């Protein structure tokens, strides 16, 4: 696909080509079609992005930024193990303690989801929330239902943007696992 700065030229070429085929569209109609080619909702959004890129205020696409890794506050490593590893099926990638009696900091993962679970006081606030996109939420739900975890019997909620399961860990943090619909509906 061409870059945004070619969008006006694309619109002009498209309008001319369509006119040769006997299809007459206004300039604004063609601009809207070009915006859709860039997977944007309308020309105004595309024009704003063109302006931002040409003014240099847009981020440099050559600087890679990976997905964020949420830090989840924990107070008890045994309870965190029971919830995140035994119940949810995450695995421990690594752990760190400055000394045996000091708080635990660890990275856990399942598939491509990474979480940091920390007992350190200043790392996160209890009661936080993570939104975790996923596929096959029904299979995940069946997996959870097959396990005996006290005080949790999660259901699948149907929301306009997909199917989701929200779980609360032993420390008051909420994790929402969501299988998003390709076409979200509005409410």
pLDDT in tens, 6-51: 777 888 888 888 888 888 888 888 888 888 787 778 888 888 777 7
pLDDT digits (tens, 9 = 90+) for 96-144: 999 999 999 999 999 999 999 999 988 998 899 999 999 999 999 999 9
CATH superfamily of 71-180: 2,3-Dihydroxybiphenyl 1,2-Dioxygenase, domain 1 (3.10.180.10)
**Domains of the chain, residue spans:** 4-54, 71-180
Signed CA dihedral, 170, 171, 172, 175: sign only: negative
Residue 43 belongs to what H/E stretch? helix 43-54
Average per-residue pLDDT for the chain: 87
Cβ(117)–Cβ(170) below 8 Å: no
pLDDT digits (tens, 9 = 90+) for 59-85: 667 888 888 999 999 999 999 999 999
């Amino acid at each position: 696909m061409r870059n945004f700065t070619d969008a006006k030229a694309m619109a002009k070429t498209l309008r001319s080509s369509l006119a040769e085929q006997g299809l007459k569209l206004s300039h604004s109609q063609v601009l809207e079609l070009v915006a859709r080619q860039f997977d944007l909702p309308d020309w105004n959004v595309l024009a704003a992005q063109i302006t931002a890129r040409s003014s240099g205020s847009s981020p440099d696409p050559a600087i890679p930024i990976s997905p964020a890794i949420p830090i989840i506050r924990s107070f008890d490593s045994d309870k965190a193990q029971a919830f995140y590893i035994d119940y949810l099926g995450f695995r421990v990638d690594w752990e760190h303690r400055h000394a045996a009696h000091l708080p635990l900091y660890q990275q856990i993962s399942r598939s491509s989801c990474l979480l940091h679970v920390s007992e350190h006081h200043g790392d996160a606030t209890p009661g936080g929330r993570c939104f975790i996109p996923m596929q096959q939420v029904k299979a995940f739900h069946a997996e959870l239902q097959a396990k005996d975890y006290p005080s949790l019997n999660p259901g699948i909620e149907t929301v306009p943007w997909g199917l989701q399961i929200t779980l609360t860990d032993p420390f008051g943090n909420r994790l929402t696992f969501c299988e998003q619909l390709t076409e979200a509906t509005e409410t």
